[in-house]
Amino acid sequence: MEEQKSEVERIAYKDLQVWQKSMEFANQVIRVIDDMDTPRKHYRLLEQLESAVTSVPMNIAEGKGRESKKEFIHFLYIARGSIYETMTLLEIIQRQGWINPDKFKELESSAIEIIKMLKGLIKAIARTT
């Protein structure tokens, strides 16, 4: 008989597709930042972008680790706010000409997919409370 994994061994947030997608998205954005060649680096702006984009999967994970569904939903809303913040920062950077419009569109498409996934997860959890 196979032993069951304890909750510590099996970290449930890693099973969430929205967490997986947001991790991929965060890595994409960080690569864009690393490749960015600006005439004048705006470090605080770029640091805020890194903070916002990494906040998305972190809030999903933190919410999943909370005791109640209500708390989980609260953190999913925070994650959604962080992805909107990320896209606003990317829009500013794109308007400065620091990333090309095609890369921006690709990131925007990924963000929209994550937003839809968050909305669906929030609705699904809310129906069970």
Round to whole Å and give the CA distance between 12 and 18: 12
pLDDT band, residue 39 (cuts 50/70/90): low
Length in residues, the chain: 129
Round to whole Å and give the CA distance between 53 and 107: 11
List the domains of the chain with CATH numbers.
Answer: 13-127 (1.20.1440.60)
> At residue 37, does pLDDT exceed 90?
no
- From residue 49, alpha-carbon distances to 8, 17, 42, 54, 119 in Å are 31, 23, 11, 8, 22
| Host H or E run for residue 101 | helix 101-127
If you average pLDDT over residues 105-116, what whole number do you get?
98
Q: What is the reported pTM? A: 0.88
Round to whole Å and give the CA distance between 127 and 120: 11
- Per cent of the chain over pLDDT 90 is 79
Instruction: Write out pLDDT tens, residues 58-103.
Output: 999 999 999 899 999 999 999 999 999 999 999 999 999 999 999 9
> At residue 31, does pLDDT exceed 90?
yes
> At residue 40, does pLDDT exceed 80?
no
Q: What is the per-residue pLDDT for 43?
A: 83
Q: What is the per-residue pLDDT for 68?
A: 94
φ/ψ of 62, rounded to 5, equals -65, -40
